[in-house]
Structure 1
Amino acid sequence: MRSNGFIGIFFFCLGIMFAQEKKWTLEECVLYAVDNNLTIEQYELDLENSRIDKSDAVGDMLPNFNINARLTGNSGLVLDQSRNQQVTGTITTASGGFGSSVNLFDGLRNIHRLNRAKLNALANQYRLDNLKDDIMLAVANNYLQVVSNKESLKVFRSQYAVTRQDLERTKELIAAGVVPSGDLLEIEATLANQEQQIVNGENQVLISRINLAQLLQITDYENFDIAEEEFNIPPSNILENSPKSIFDKAQTFRNDIKFSLSNVELALKDLQIAKGAVYPTLGAFFNYGTQYSSEFRDPATGERLPFSDQLYLTDGISYGLQLNIPVFNGFSTRNGIQRAKISVERSRLQLKQDKLDLETNINQAYVDVTSFAKAYEAAEKTLEARRLAYEYSKDRFDVGLMNSFDFSQAQSRVDNAEAELIRTKYDYIFRLKVLEFYFGLPITLD
């Protein structure tokens, strides 16, 4: 028993260690966010509720069937139904039966309600899928932000290590009399500034990790971290397509556009349902009933009849058709039709607005990709030039031809160029993926 308990504790601790050491990849983050997001779960409940509405619409088209029963005791002056006269005493009565009715015609409103329920279920599915699309983009953006901050932190630490070497070299140059001792202060100031950059970089990494964890509904911020992945700019020919062609294709599959289109169809169904109220309604019914009384007697012999005989003698049925013709109802039907027409126009305007927003977003994404591609190329050239300038400054500083202030400025320009290159790189990658996403390509960074 003890050994089994020890083994259980061992595997439990091993599981905790594994959970703490887990590094999340982008694909894992996207899948986890889609499976655990609270808003998605709420939308899934709305989708399930719309399917229940569909079942309600089907049920409204079927006949209903009800059974009823009643048992009553009366004391004092009561009506004896068998003799149809008032008597003093106690009488027990019972009645029961069943009935059914069905709506034969109601201006086709039940059929329209069924079709509306189907459209509503489809609309909720589009809304759910659109939310998943937005969450996947948000996860990708936050994930790349963590990667970008981590790479920037690596650069800061690497720069700090280089500055430490420059500090030692400066001390040697001062000892050799090549540079004045005051230059050491400038190097130490640069080193302190880089230490502050490292602290700020660590804070940025922590904040971006927390933001990503919150998006994934993960509360264990301390142990949450992403995998050590390095992303290069993926090859893409998306810019070979014009913004107009991307927009035309996006309209065919984007879930937000499908959702907006389904809202127009729902409004049209609501209008048909409202118009159905001006038509007559026709229904059919069938009822069966019987009763029992403790004082029910045979009219010929005066003897009380048994329970089963009474049920047979007192039963009866009723059946027929019922027609209702609407004539005047205080303008409610007419006003309902007018409101439905307004809803149709509102949904059509919203569809136009959604298409305009989509076209605007695509054009903006297209411009962003173009501009960030140029910015990344410029940042690469700038960094290369800054590094060459730094190497030249370093050679001059080593022989005492440059003071420590100018040398620190050269190194600072290299630091800024490397940070700018990292920022533009991941901004370019994300905007490239956004534009590809509008074109129907999946979010991958391979």
Structure 2
Amino acid sequence: MKINKYNSLVFAMLFGFGLSGQAQTKQWTLEECVRYALDNNITIKLSELDVKTADIDKRGALGSYLPTVNGNASHSWNIGLNVNPVTNIATTQTTQYSSLGVNANVDIYKGLQNQNAYRRASLAIVASKYQLLKMQEDISLNVANAFLQILSNKENLKVRIEQLAIDEKRLARSEEMVNAGTIPRGDLFDLKATVATDKQNITVSENNLLISKLSLAQLLQLKEFADFDVVDDTNAKDENNIMAQSPIDIYNKAKEIRTELKLAQTNLEIAEKNVSIAKGAYQPTLRGFYSFSTSASYSDRLIGADAAGNPIYVGPDPVLTQFSDNKGHNFGFQLSVPIFNGFSVRNNVERNKVSLEKSKIDLEQKSLDLQRNVYTAFTDAKGALNTYESATVSLEARQQAYNYAKEKYDVGLMNSFDFTQAQTLLTNAQSDVIRTKYDYMFKIKILEFYFGIPIVPVITK
């Protein structure tokens, strides 16, 4: 059979879990799992980098208030007939020329675009922090769900193991009774099939447990996961009495604290700033400028002619002297008035207005989604509690039915098939209690989450 690389990797991971079963295993609490995920999850690390990028963008926006200053320097060789840039005389010779300069520009007025850009950058930092917090909240819920799934699979495995032990005892006792001629041999075959089924169920439960551990270990980005395990916390109580709150109270509290609403509101404010920045391009811009320059030539200087009319040259002045003598300044203001630009400014303004409308709709949609999610979470939690309580009552009844069937089976008043059916119903009832209990626990966590109760206590760094 062909096995792809992914299946091979999963098999190796599961095999690693199995080999470590006898080793000393660290058992993680839910709080440890959540905190480790928040510190090591790759998605969260990427969001943290987004916060740093937003902070850099803010510093860039602040820099737009400041003047730009640039220096320049050059040295050139002119060969042949060239105009000496210092003497302004055309000569045929090889000359060298050096120049130095510095220029500065500063925005005096730019339609308030710089101010609005800085405010937008400040809002972008807030938005990136909200996005990071939202990511942390989502990861926390995912970790809690994966953690509870492990606990559910652990309990289910215990039920399967206990069931196998009971059936093996029944099988041994039935073998004795068959040898004594008390029961027919057919009952023995039924029990052997039941024991085989129990072993198969244990294998399935073990695989489910290993896969759930692997899922949580990968969510935590654990590099060493072979010995990974969690503590057995099976408390299914509503410790914070969240079910005593009404859905409207939970929703009103959620509107004040939920990160997705804060993020949507901040994005709306960013969109408003984008419109203001785009409109600023309609207005004139005024810039101030200043430049300083100086130069020096390395050519001989013509100072006259002798009696025969031959030119008389002397060496160039010292370079520093030339730099001092040839320096110059240039400064002033530049006004730019937009008249027609192919509708680019207008189209940009309209484009940002559309984005603003989208942000308004997104905020409204987020509020409606939050209301629906809160009421759904409350209904789900209430339904999960009722289901869990009903499953518990059903389990008690199935346990009593099983005990009665066992008494009848022990005295020969019930055959093996009927007794196995009673036992199967009991096992199914136990599985239902486990499933509904952890489903209720997770739905309580979701409801607490909307009410502002964190998965784990917040630590201020």
Query: How does the TM-score come out when normalised to structure 2?
Result: 0.89
Task: Describe the SS at the equivalent of 2:229.
Answer: coil
Offset from partner CA, 1:220-272 (integer Å, 9 cap, x none): 44332223443343434212222222111111111111111111000000000
Q: Matched residues in 1 for 2:24 and 2:187: separation?
A: 46
Q: Matched residues in 1 for 2:59 and 2:86: separation?
A: 47
Q: Tell me the residue number matched to 1:134.
A: 138
1:47 and 2:51 correspond: yes
In structure 1, give the amino acid aligned to 2:264: S
Shift, 1:443, TM fit = 1.4
Q: Tell me the residue number matched to 2:403.
A: 391
Listed as ranges, the matches of 1:26-425 within 5 Å are: 26-295=30-299, 297=301, 303=314, 304-425=316-437
Offset from partner CA, 1:63-122 (integer Å, 9 cap, x none): 121111111111222223454332121111111121211100000000000000000011
Q: Matched residues in 1 for 2:410 and 2:286: separation?
A: 103
Same amino acid, percent of matched pairs:
44
The size of the alignment, in residue pairs, is 429
Q: Matched residues in 1 for 2:158 and 2:393: separation?
A: 21
Offset from partner CA, 1:150-193 (integer Å, 9 cap, x none): 11001100111111122223234334544323211222221111
* Preserved CA contact (<8 Å) 1:30 1:140: yes
* Preserved CA contact (<8 Å) 1:81 1:296: no
Task: Describe the SS at the equivalent of 1:70.
Answer: strand
TM-aligned CA distance change 1:36 to 1:83, over 3 Å: closer
Q: Matched residues in 2 for 1:285 and 1:84: separation?
A: 27
* Preserved CA contact (<8 Å) 1:178 1:399: no
In structure 2, give the amino acid aligned to 1:333: V
Task: Describe the SS at the equivalent of 2:28.
Answer: coil
Q: Matched residues in 2 for 1:83 and 1:185: separation?
A: 119
Offset from partner CA, 1:395-414 (integer Å, 9 cap, x none): 11111111010011111111
Offset from partner CA, 1:265-319 (integer Å, 9 cap, x none): 0000000000000110011111111110112648699643222221122111011
Query: How does the TM-score come out when normalised to structure 1?
Result: 0.92
Q: Matched residues in 1 for 2:404 and 2:317: separation?
A: 124
Offset from partner CA, 1:393-436 (integer Å, 9 cap, x none): 11111111110100111111111110110010000001011101
Q: Tell me the residue number matched to 2:440.
A: 428
Q: Which moved more, 1:176-185 or 1:418-427?
A: 176-185
Q: Which moved more, 1:21-30 or 1:409-418?
A: 21-30
TM-aligned CA distance change 1:333 to 1:435, over 3 Å: same
Q: Matched residues in 2 for 1:370 and 1:232: separation?
A: 13
Q: Matched residues in 2 for 1:320 and 1:39: separation?
A: 51
* Preserved CA contact (<8 Å) 2:100 2:293: yes
TM-aligned CA distance change 1:196 to 1:361, over 3 Å: same
Task: Describe the SS at the equivalent of 2:230.
Answer: coil
In structure 2, give the amino acid aligned to 1:78: N
Q: Matched residues in 2 for 1:250 and 1:298: separation?
A: 88
Shift, 1:23, TM fit = 2.2
TM-aligned CA distance change 1:297 to 1:103, over 3 Å: same
* Preserved CA contact (<8 Å) 1:82 1:297: no
* Preserved CA contact (<8 Å) 1:29 1:216: yes
* Preserved CA contact (<8 Å) 2:26 2:229: yes
List gaps (5 residues or longer) in structure 1. 1-15
Task: Describe the SS at the equivalent of 1:182.
Answer: helix
Q: What RMSD, in angstroms, separates the aligned Cα atoms of the two structures?
A: 2.0
* Preserved CA contact (<8 Å) 2:236 2:440: no
1:441 and 2:453 correspond: yes
Task: Describe the SS at the equivalent of 2:79.
Answer: strand
List gaps (5 residues or longer) in structure 2. 1-19, 305-311
* Preserved CA contact (<8 Å) 1:286 1:319: yes
